[in-house]
Amino acid sequence: KTIEFTGALHATVVKQVRLKNPSSKTLMYNAILAGRDADDFSLPKGNTVTIAPKRQTSINVEFTSRFLHPAEAVLLLISKCVGGIDGATLTFSLKSEVKHIEPADILKCKSPCYEL
């Protein structure tokens, strides 16, 4: 699954990933961001995710664009063994696109175009 982050340059975009636990045991995951631009993505609520039995939870993934080129990373959710049950390892592709640029400031300058 690919999660796309679109926004302005230097803006922070937040996306939610919903995780469901269909089993009757608690699942725990360790979340890892990996890849070329992993530093531009973050998990504000921490790297550990716990999902109660027969419940669902959401994790927030934040992206702040620093450059115009598209950023790419991978979100890995690696299961921790709890009570003898392991969940499947989950992977999500994270991609960004800068749609517009907001000027930080406007400067007016006067200068002669040509002097002898």
The pTM (predicted TM-score) of the whole model is 0.80
Residue 86, domain member (yes or no): yes
Residue 105, domain member (yes or no): no
Residue 63, domain member (yes or no): yes
Domain of residue 78 covers 2-100
Tell me, what CATH number does 77's domain have? 2.60.40.10
How many domains does the chain fold into? 1
Residue 80, domain member (yes or no): yes
Label the pairing between strands 27-34 and 72-80.
Answer: antiparallel
pLDDT attached to residue 84: 65
**How far apart (Å, rounded) are the C-alpha atoms in residues 70 and 79?**
29
What sign for the dihedral angle of Cα 41, 46, 48, 49? negative
Residue 23, domain member (yes or no): yes
Q: State the SS3 of 31-51.
A: EEEECCCHHHEECCCCCEEEE
Instruction: Kindly give the parts of the chain with pLDDT less than 70.
Output: 83-85
Distance of alpha carbon 29 from its chain centroid, rounded? 16
